Chain A
Amino acid sequence: AQSVTQLDSQVPVFEEAPVELRCNYSSSVSVYLFWYVQYPNQGLQLLLKYLSGSTLVKGINGFEAEFNKSQTSFHLRKPSVHISDTAEYFCAVSDLRTSYDKVIFGPGTSLSVIP
């Protein structure tokens, strides 16, 4: 069965500092990978996704992620964070074997940007 691990439940970082949110997955087949952001009391918004091709994926709000197949990782990075980046971040993997678009979500990482 597929699973997603987000190693850090909470990440505090100072404003304008870089940040990396870690994500590892387990799967015996090819997968699609996603990062979503959730602001308080809102739905999830897609930040970026990896389907195929270049392993470095750029998303909205200055975020990027790199797919590493050998390490089964898909870490999210931003070179300089803003206060507005404070939110919950979810890594997710799509199971391509199902008849519907089944997505397995990680438990989430709470990013707190300190002024």
Chain B
Amino acid sequence: SQTIHQWPATLVQPVGSPLSLECTVEGTSNPNLYWYRQAAGRGLQLLFYSVGIGQISSEVPQNLSASRPQDRQFILSSKKLLLSDSGFYLCAWSSQETQYFGPGTRLLVL
């Protein structure tokens, strides 16, 4: 069966520091991968999606970037964090029509 991992689970970072969040999927090959952000008390905002290695599409302009160095690895990064980057970051995968989510990373920027 397929599983999806995210780490770290929680992260507290100062403004201006870099960021790297990692997501890996097991049990499937060539999945579509997604990064979402969920602000406190709000819905999901799609940040990036990837249909293959090295193929990244951005949904909204922002302070973040994404990379897919391997088939089942998806990384979310920032060179300098802003206060507004705080939130709950969710990674998801799909191979057909259904998206499956990871446990999420809680990021607090101070």
Contacts and interface: CB of A to CB of B under 8 A. Distances in A.
Classify chain A's interface size.
20 to 34
Chief secondary structure at chain B's binding surface: strand
Contacts of B32: 100-101
Interface in B44-72: 44, 46, 49, 51, 57
Contacts of A34: 98
Contacts of B96: 101
A77 B32 CA distance: 30
Interface in B74-110: 88, 90, 92, 94, 96-104, 106
Interface of A: 32, 34, 36, 41-46, 49, 51, 90, 94, 96, 99-103, 105-108
What are the nearest 3 A-B pairs in CB distance?
A: A43-B101, A101-B94, A44-B101
